[in-house]
Amino acid sequence: MLSTLTSRTGLQGLIVYAGFVLIFLFFAATLGSESFLTTKNLANIVLQTAPATVMAVGLVFVLSAGEIDLSFGAIVALAALVAAIAMRNQPMIVGVLAGLGSGAAAGAVNGLLVAYGRLPSFLVTLATMGVIAGIGRSISDLQSIPVISPGFISFFGGGSLAGIPSLIIWTLAAIAFGHLVYRQTRFGAHVLAVGDNPRAALVSGIKVARIRLSVLILSGACAGLAGLLYAGRLQSARYTLGESDLMTVIAAVIVGGTALNGGKGTIFGALVGSLMMGMLNNGLILMGLSVSYQMIIKGLIVLVAVAISLRDPNR
């Protein structure tokens, strides 16, 4: 039975689910029911990980296509700032479209340089990360910009529908949409084919350049949505938004079972990985560990996940 389950989920899939349970049990036993296991704290973990989960959905497509995006953290801040500035004198819908549009546009620049400029995505997105971060600092003058639209704050931040917080609704919508596109559409199949063997995909008639462009636009749009969620939850936008998310999101996606070298991924695994990283951050903070130790532990988790991914016999 174990061999059957392993063949279906892969070694890394089993490890991530087991790891999630073990980490939860560790913090539950160590911190007890007065802090970690409270309903408020567990709900906060889900709410705090919502932007990272949305970004993780886009990154699953990018990594599955054999590419990488290092700029999504900077895009988060840019989208939030653009939306907040637009809503100073314009209706909410203008700010939403401006934020999402800026994210998609940044992703399109990355995609065009990678797909048609034939430049490595690592170097392209590393460079645009700096450019976009600089733009965010320039348009904000290093100041926090308040979000003054109550409708926006409710829709993307503190509101709820039928008792379900809007951030959780956005998370579930992103996961459902991502899984549907990834597993049930021709586009998703083409993404996996390009990541697994781009030459074979090209010979079979798949437009490889278009797929690479599309996944980077999708990643930018997801980062743009994450920026709106941050702005709604915090009721303001700042150039530092998303700065600490790069390692967290990459860790969540890799830990969740998406291969760094393409051709394999899972949206639900990214969700579990994101919740695991959020739970880890939360537990370590409650234990009184500093940010330095949190970064060290995250880095070690990424190393273990990459080693398992590269050695997984089901890959």
In CATH, what number is assigned to the domain containing residue 18? 1.10.3470
Comparing CA positions, the residue from 58, 9, 69, 15 lying closest to residue 270 is 58
Q: What are phi and psi of 309, to 5 degrees?
A: -60, -45
6 belongs to a structural domain: no
123 belongs to a structural domain: yes
291 belongs to a structural domain: yes
180-208 mean pLDDT? 95
- For 150-160, write each residue's pLDDT tens digit: 999 999 988 88
1 belongs to a structural domain: no
284 belongs to a structural domain: yes
Helices (H), the chain: 2-9, 11-31, 39-48, 50-64, 72-86, 92-115, 121-140, 150-153, 166-184, 186-196, 198-203, 208-234, 245-255, 267-286, 291-311
49 belongs to a structural domain: yes
Res. 4 pLDDT band, cuts 50 70 90: very low
Contacts of 156 (CB under 8 A, 6+ apart): 166, 167, 170, 228, 229, 231, 232, 233
267 belongs to a structural domain: yes
AA identity, residue 196: D
Q: Which pLDDT score is estimated for 271? A: 94
Helix (H, G, I), strand (E, B) or coil at 237: strand
DSSP letter at 236 equals E
- In this prediction the pTM is 0.90
Range name among 99-103, 182-186, 276-280 with the lowest pLDDT average: 276-280
- How many domains are contained in the chain? 1
Tell me how far apart the 2 most distant CA atoms of the chain are, in Å.
62
Render the burial of 69-87: b for 16+ CB within 10 Å, e for the rest.
bbbbbbbbbbbbbbbbbbb
| Of 262 and 3, more confident | 262
Q: At what angle do helices 121-140 and 72-86 cross, to 10 degrees?
A: 30
Q: Which pLDDT score is estimated for 212? A: 97
pLDDT at 247 over 60: yes
Q: Which pLDDT score is estimated for 20? A: 85
Q: Which pLDDT score is estimated for 199? A: 94
92-103 mean pLDDT? 96
DSSP letter at 195 equals H
Quote the domain boundaries for residue 76. Answer: 11-311
pLDDT at 9 over 60: no
2 belongs to a structural domain: no
